[in-house]
Amino acid sequence: MTENQNVVFVSRPGVNGEPKEENFRFEQCPYPVDIQKDEVLIKTLYLSTDPALRYFFEMNESTGVDYVGPWQIGETIEGFGGVGSVMKSLNPEFVEGDLVCSQYGWPWIEYFVRKPDKSFQKVDKSLVGGKISYCLSVLSLTGLTSYLGITEKGHIQPSHTLVISGAAGACGSLAGQFGCLKGCDRVIGICGSDEKCKYLTDELGFNGAINYKTQNIKDELCKHCPKGVDVYFDNVGGTISDQVIKQMNKDSHVILCGQISVYNKDVPYPPPIPEETQQCLQQNNITRERFLVLNYPEKFDESLKQIAEWLLSGKIKVKETISEGLVNAGPAFVSMMRGGNIGKQLIHVASQ
The site for ligand NDP (CB under 6 A) is made up of: 50-52, 55, 142, 145, 166, 168-172, 191-193, 196, 235-236, 240, 257-258, 260-261, 291-293, 336, 339, 341, 345
Minimum CB distance to ligand NDP, residue 121 (Å): 18
Q: Residue 13 or residue 339: which is nearer to ligand NDP going by CB?
A: 339
Query: With the C-alpha atoms ordered 252, 257, 259, 260, is the resulting torsion angle positive or negative?
Result: negative
Minimum CB distance to ligand NDP, residue 295 (Å): 8
Neighbours of 340 (CB within 10 A): 15
**Total number of residues shown for the chain:** 352
What order of strands is seen across the sheet that includes strand 229-234?
A: 208-211, 186-191, 161-165, 229-234, 248-256, 287-290
Q: Residue 94 or residue 199: which is nearer to ligand NDP going by CB?
A: 199
Minimum CB distance to ligand NDP, residue 188 (Å): 14
Q: Which of 46, 45, 67 is nearest to 56 (CA)?
A: 67
Q: Residue 279 or residue 287: which is nearer to ligand NDP going by CB?
A: 287
Q: Residue 109 or residue 342: which is nearer to ligand NDP going by CB?
A: 342
Give the whole-angstrom CA distance, residue 267 versus residue 264. Answer: 9
Q: Residue 250 or residue 290: which is nearer to ligand NDP going by CB?
A: 290
Minimum CB distance to ligand NDP, residue 256 (Å): 8
Q: Residue 170 or residue 304: which is nearer to ligand NDP going by CB?
A: 170
Minimum CB distance to ligand NDP, residue 142 (Å): 6
Q: What is the CA radius of gyration of the chain?
A: 21
Q: Which of 198, 227, 223, 226 is nearest to 211 (CA)?
A: 198
Give the whole-angstrom CA distance, residue 352 versus residue 110. Answer: 12
**CB 237, CB 258: distance < 8 Å:** yes
Amino acid occupying residue 4: N
| DSSP tag of 109 | B
Minimum CB distance to ligand NDP, residue 326 (Å): 20
Amino acid occupying residue 182: K
At 60, phi and psi to the nearest 5?
-90, 170
Q: Residue 56 or residue 111: which is nearer to ligand NDP going by CB?
A: 56
